[in-house]
Amino acid sequence: MSEDTFRWVITAGVGLSWLMIVIMAGAMIGVYRTAKRLEAKVTPLLEKAGLVVDKARAIVDDASPRIRDMMDKAQEMTATAREQVQRLDALITETAERARLQIDRIEIVVDDTVNRVHDTTQAVQSTILKPVREVNGVVSGLRAAISTLARGNRASVDHATQDEEMFI
């Protein structure tokens, strides 16, 4: 490559570099203007947001002790409730065990009472009712004998035959 050509290539490269620098400068000016417009729009919002953040911080700072107090009380209430539930569970368990023992005792007493009533019934039947039946049988026999003796006359053969036929 000749020296003239080299100079023209270098000149074109420098010109192209200068053109790119001018374009970049224009772009930077455009970005600067856009940033300024955005800043103008955002600045009032930042001031309002700052006020909101300050109020929120004040509210959180003001409520923080109350929230801690509520949390502490909630923990105390939970601990108390847990303790009460444990006591209630122990009481219910003890009451259920006592009731189970009493029911077992009642069952034994009722079984014993039923057995005694049964034994008493058998004893009454064997010692009182059996002799009463026997006496009743003897009395009925005596009554029949007295009634037969009191009639004095014997039934005729016709009457006896008729009685036998009715029996058959």
- In sequence order, which residues have a C-beta less than 8 Å from that of residue 155 and are 6 or more positions away? 163
State how far the Cα of 87 lies from the Cα of 81, in Å rounded to an integer. 10
pLDDT per residue as tens digits for the range 57-85: 888 888 888 889 999 999 999 999 999 99
Mean pLDDT across 117-123: 90
Residue whose entry in the numeric block shows the structure tokens 């009182």 = 128
pLDDT of residue 157: 54
Residue whose entry in the numeric block shows the structure tokens 């009712």 = 129
pLDDT of residue 156: 56
pLDDT of residue 13: 93
Residue 155 contacts residue 163 (beta carbons within 8 Å): yes
* Chain mean pLDDT for the chain: 86
Q: What is the CA radius of gyration of the chain?
A: 62
pLDDT of residue 46: 83
| Band of residue 47 on the pLDDT scale cut at 50, 70, 90 | confident
| Band of residue 153 on the pLDDT scale cut at 50, 70, 90 | low
Helices (H), the chain: 3-124, 130-151, 157-167
State how far the Cα of 56 lies from the Cα of 43, in Å rounded to an integer. 20
Please say if the pLDDT value at position 126 is more than 90.
no
Residue boundaries of the structural domains of the chain: 3-149
Mean pLDDT across 93-107: 94
State how far the Cα of 166 lies from the Cα of 168, in Å rounded to an integer. 5
